[in-house]
Chains A and B, each alone.
Chain A
Amino acid sequence: MGANAADSPVEGWLGSLIVVVHRWLDVFFEWAMWFLIALIAIPAVTGGVALIGDRSQLVTARVWADRPVLLQAAGLANQWSNGTPSSDADALLTELVGSDWFVDQVLTDSAVGFKILGSDQKAQQRLAMRQSFKHGTIGDHVLQVSYVTDRPAVGSGLLNSVIIRLGDSIETLDSIQTTAAVGLLDSQVAEARATMQKALADATAYAAGKSLTQLLDDAHYLTLQADALAATNYYVSLDRQAHQAHLAQSALPSIRDSTFRVMDPPSVSPKQIDLRSPAIKYSMEALAGVAVLEFVIIYVIGLRDPRVRSGEEVRKKLGVPYLGSTPDLRSAA
């Protein structure tokens, strides 16, 4: 065409891109209301249906966790953690749930016929258990465990098993730690005893054949005497500590109730909607699906719809200068 472009439009690939982007935007804003309604309504309906259809219930239990006072008195506390008793138990539970050994024990206790399942089915059960089981701390001493299930009785059994197994593990861990510490103390006591006996023997041997008056003025004897006294004091101190440790070790099974006990036994809690609940999960999936679908619709219409949506488009495709646009008139002839 002979006329020049009236304005100074963007040329080249950028101009083409702008025209295409404008088409997409125009399609979007043409249907924006419906897109928005779909974006809200479909996920909401999906989530609602999932919520109604979701028959799962949340079984929750709370456990009191503490450290044995005897271990602290014997200098054996905090051997494996600097956290609070509940966080220690929580951390230990995290590690235990990550192990197949622990999960298998729990499932064997609570799920009928778990032992006879094939390896694939066992793996599925383990995965389901890990996905449904949650735990966390409340304050320094309370550990909360919960399990999502559509069979509350099974959930209660599973939580009971988890609590018992966790208590056993904590007791075993304490026992192992204490035994190791007691063994170390015993060896130190034996060594101190030998040192003490040698020092006493040295002093006694040196004093043989000498009068008390001579010995009181003998600097070497006084040194040997002081060494023997120090070795004796050290031995006595270690022996006392070892005695305390032995007491603590033997008391561990009997003090379990004071260090790890069930506060609230497993019970069904009101259903809570969190980010991992099926309603939210399906809503998010529906939201993403609708958003993707809308993008595809906009993209396809923008590319395939032959109707003109801007004057710049005509200028770009047909080379006809764009003079402007007029608003809609009801009586356009």
Chain B
Amino acid sequence: MVVTKLGPSSWRDALDGATAGVLAPHGYALKPRESLGQPDLDRIFLERCREAFAKLNRTVGQGVIAVVSPHRSEGRSSVAAGLALSLVQDLERQVLLVDLDLRRPGQGVLFDVNDSPGMVEYLENDAPLRLTAGGMSRRLWLLTAGATTGDHVARMAHLVAHSEFFAACRQSFGWTVVDLPPLLETSEASYLAGLADACVLVGRYRRSSIHALSRAVALIPNDRPTGFVLTGNQSRVPAWINRLI
């Protein structure tokens, strides 16, 4: 039963069906049954995410951006959310934010919506795919991870990786930002990163080690355009010195 859902047409139908349920043909909200909250990301943070995307966008026109980090608590989910929000503000296109950190999903908390039902419920049950709209002109869509136990995570990730999910995202959305699990703590993250069109590697200032980042970089396929974003930058080096050097 699950396999029938995983073809590109099935994924696309599910995605289109989820968005069509709440959108009028011109794209504005018709029936906002559920809406994304405003994440606790300040203006400077979003501005930095916009700058990061602008630099990455010089090599990648559109598609799926995977946001990865070596370990947890390095600011990966915040950067993914910030990227998605800045994309929505800058582009006149629909943007999908997918939380694929099935073990410890974070986007639901960030946008103040329930994680369940989400990706897991769609794959495991007959539940319809649930997307929640928000952001500027409600062009940001969030696909939450859903609720699952540790045993099922690997299988769920495997299903996503071997389905045509990313292809359907490319067809239905201008940009898709995928919040992946930590590269060094899960086995599926590396494979999922390889399916994206570009990767944003996130490391936290004075927390991520250069060795961990090096190992994480080694897990990203070489042909995948990748850029690095440093989060939690609390450097006290005065700005004029930074400009000088």
Q: Which residues 47-63 in B have Cβ within 8 Å of A in the complex?
A: 48-49, 51-53, 55-56, 58-60
CB of B233 within 8 A of CB of A325, answer: yes
* B149 close to chain A: CB less than 8 A: no
Complex contacts, A319 vs chain B, CB 8 Å: 217
- Docked CA distance A73–B224 (Å): 105
Complex contacts, B210 vs chain A, CB 8 Å: 306-308, 313-314, 317-318
CB of B58 within 8 A of CB of A322, answer: no
- Docked CA distance A7–B217 (Å): 20
Chain A min CB distance to B113 (Å) = 15
CB of B217 within 8 A of CB of A310, answer: no
CB of A324 within 8 A of CB of B75, answer: no
Chain B min CB distance to A16 (Å) = 12
CB of B236 within 8 A of CB of A32, answer: yes
CB of A4 within 8 A of CB of B235, answer: no
- Docked CA distance A332–B217 (Å): 21
* A123 close to chain B: CB less than 8 A: no
CB of A2 within 8 A of CB of B222, answer: yes
* A48 close to chain B: CB less than 8 A: no
Q: Which residues 293-327 in A have Cβ within 8 Å of B in the complex?
A: 306-311, 313-315, 317-327
* B229 close to chain A: CB less than 8 A: yes
- Docked CA distance A324–B241 (Å): 17
- Docked CA distance A1–B227 (Å): 8
Complex contacts, A4 vs chain B, CB 8 Å: 58-59
CB of A308 within 8 A of CB of B78, answer: no
Given A308-B209, A332-B75, A333-B106, A325-B230 contact (CB < 8 Å): yes
Complex contacts, B41 vs chain A, CB 8 Å: 329
**Total number of residue pairs linking A and B with CB closer than 8 Å:** 172
CB of A29 within 8 A of CB of B40, answer: no
Q: Which residues 24-48 in B have Cβ within 8 Å of A in the complex?
A: 40-42, 44-45, 48
Complex contacts, B237 vs chain A, CB 8 Å: 22, 25-26, 29
Interface string of A4-24 (1 = CB under 8 A from B): 101100000000001001100
Interface residues on B, range: 35 or more
- Docked CA distance A313–B53 (Å): 20
- Docked CA distance A318–B241 (Å): 24
Q: Which of A22, A307, A308, A321 contacts B226 (CB 8 A)?
A: A321
Q: Which of B213, B227, B232 contacts A3 (CB 8 A)?
A: B227
CB of B75 within 8 A of CB of A318, answer: no
CB of B229 within 8 A of CB of A318, answer: no
Chain A min CB distance to B205 (Å) = 7
CB of A2 within 8 A of CB of B78, answer: no
Complex contacts, A254 vs chain B, CB 8 Å: none
* B132 close to chain A: CB less than 8 A: no
Q: Which of A318, A327, A328 contacts B217 (CB 8 A)?
A: A318
* A217 close to chain B: CB less than 8 A: no
Q: Which residues 210-227 in B have Cβ within 8 Å of A in the complex?
A: 210-211, 213-214, 217, 220, 222-227
A interface with B by C-beta (< 8 Å): 1-4, 6-7, 18, 21-22, 25-26, 29-30, 32, 306-311, 313-315, 317-329, 331-333
